Amino acid sequence: MVRLWLADVARTWQRFRNDSSYHELVLTSGRSLVVRLLGVSTGFLVTLITARFFSADALGVVSICIGILSLSSVFAKLGHDVALMRYIATFFEEKKFEDIRGIYQTSLRLVLPVTGMISLLLYIAAPWMSETWFDKPQLRLVLQWNSLLVIPLTLLQINSECLRGVKRIIDYTFFQTAAVSTFAVIGLLVAMVFFPSVDAPIQIQFVGIALAALISSYRWRMVVRGKQESDLSAVTFRQLNKTAGPMFTTTIMQLVMSWAGTLILASYRPASDVGVYNALIRISVFTNITILAINGLVMTRFVTAYHSGNLAVLKRHSHEATRLIFFTSLPMFALLLLFPTIVLTLFGNEFIGHENELYILLAGQFMVICAGLPGQLLNMTDRQHALRNIAIISATINLVSCFWLVPVMGMAGACWAQFAGTMVWTFLCVFSVYRRMKIMTFIGFSRW
Give the domain ranges of the chain: 2-437
pLDDT for the residue numbered 213: 93
Give, rounded to a whole angstrom, the gap between the first and last alpha carbons of the chain.
Answer: 17
Give the whole-angstrom CA distance, residue 36 versus residue 407: 36
User: Can you give the pLDDT at residue 448?
Assistant: 41
C-alpha to C-alpha distance for 344 and 413, rounded to whole angstroms: 19
Please, are residues 301 and 376 in contact by the beta-carbon 8 Å criterion? no
Instruction: State which H helix or E strand residue 435 sits in.
Output: helix 411-437
Average pLDDT by stretches of 10, the chain with 448 residues = 54 56 57 70 78 74 81 82 81 78 84 90 87 77 87 91 84 84 87 75 86 92 67 62 72 77 80 78 76 68 72 77 80 83 75 82 88 80 81 90 88 90 90 85 63
Q: Maximum Cα–Cα distance for the chain, whole Å? A: 62
pLDDT digits (tens, 9 = 90+) for 214-241: 999 999 988 877 555 444 456 666 777 6
Quote the pLDDT of residue 292: 67
Global pTM reads 0.66
Taking the CA atoms of 252, 257, 259 and 260 in sequence, report the sign of the dihedral they define: positive
How do the residues of the chain divide into helix, strand and coil, expressed in percent and rounded to 5?
85, 0, 15
- pLDDT for 33: 65
pLDDT score at 419? 92
Of 120, 6, 67, 101, the closest CA to residue 266 belongs to 67
